[in-house]
Amino acid sequence: MRARVRSLVVATTASAVMATFVVVAGSAGPAQAAAHRVLLVPRDFATIQAAVNAAAPGDTVNVAAGTFVGQVAINKDLTLHGAGAGATVIKAPPTLAAYGMRTSDSTPLTAIVQVGNHANVHMSGLDVTGPVPCPTVDEGIGVVEDANLDLSDARILNLLSPGCTAEAYGMVFGADSRYAINGVPGGTAASGHVSHVVVDTYQSVGIVVVGPYGRAPSRVTLSDNTVNGGTPVDPAGQVGIWIRLNAVGQVTGNTVSGAVCSDPGCGFDPIAEYQSSGIVVERADGSTVSGNHVSGADVGLFDNASGVTVNGNSFVANNMFGLVVFDADAVTKNNTITGGRVGIGAVAATQDTTELSSGDHISGFSGAATQTFECCGFHASVTVKP
In a domain, 20, yes or no: no
Q: Of the given ranges (85-89, 231-235, 240-244), which has the lowest mean pLDDT?
A: 231-235
pLDDT of residue 231: 62
Is the confidence at residue 78, as pLDDT, over 60? yes
* SS3 sequence of 193-222: EEEEEEEEEECCEEEEEECCCCCCCEEEEE
pLDDT of residue 135: 77
**In the predicted model, what is the mean pLDDT of residues 31-40?**
74
Query: Average model confidence (pLDDT) for the chain?
Result: 90
pLDDT of residue 237: 82
pLDDT of residue 232: 61
55: DSSP letter: P
Domain membership of residue 48 as a residue range: 38-385
Q: Of the given ranges (4-13, 77-86, 310-319), which has the lowest mean pLDDT?
A: 4-13
pLDDT of residue 163: 73
pLDDT of residue 138: 94
d(CA 254, CA 197): 10
pTM (predicted TM-score): 0.91
pLDDT of residue 11: 32
Q: pLDDT for 326-351, tens place per residue?
A: 999 999 999 999 999 999 999 999 99
How many distinct structural domains can be found in the chain?
1
Residue with more model confidence, 173 or 6: 173
Which CATH number goes with the domain that contains 365?
Answer: 2.160.20
Alpha helices in the chain (DSSP H): 48-54
- 42: preceding bond cis by omega (within 30 degrees): yes
Q: How far is CA 258 from CA 154, 216, 278, 280, in A?
A: 20, 32, 7, 14
In a domain, 11, yes or no: no
pLDDT of residue 249: 98
In a domain, 51, yes or no: yes
In a domain, 266, yes or no: yes
In a domain, 287, yes or no: yes
d(CA 338, CA 331): 18
d(CA 127, CA 324): 33
- 135: preceding bond cis by omega (within 30 degrees): yes
| Ordered DSSP codes for 315-363 | EES-SSEEEEEESSEEEEES-EEESSSEEEEEEESSS-EEEEEES-EEE
Residue with more model confidence, 21 or 119: 119
| CB-facing half-sphere around the CA of 68: CA atoms within 13 A | 26
Helix, strand, coil content of the chain in percent (nearest 5): 0, 55, 40
Count of CB atoms situated within 10 Å of the CB of 104: 9
pLDDT of residue 19: 52
Q: pLDDT for 156-209, tens place per residue?
A: 999 988 777 678 999 999 999 999 999 999 999 999 999 999 999 898 999 999
Is the confidence at residue 377, as pLDDT, over 80? yes
Strand-pair category, 247-252 with 148-159? unpaired
pLDDT-derived band of residue 267, with 50, 70 and 90 as boundaries? very high
- Which run of H or of E encompasses 280? strand 277-282
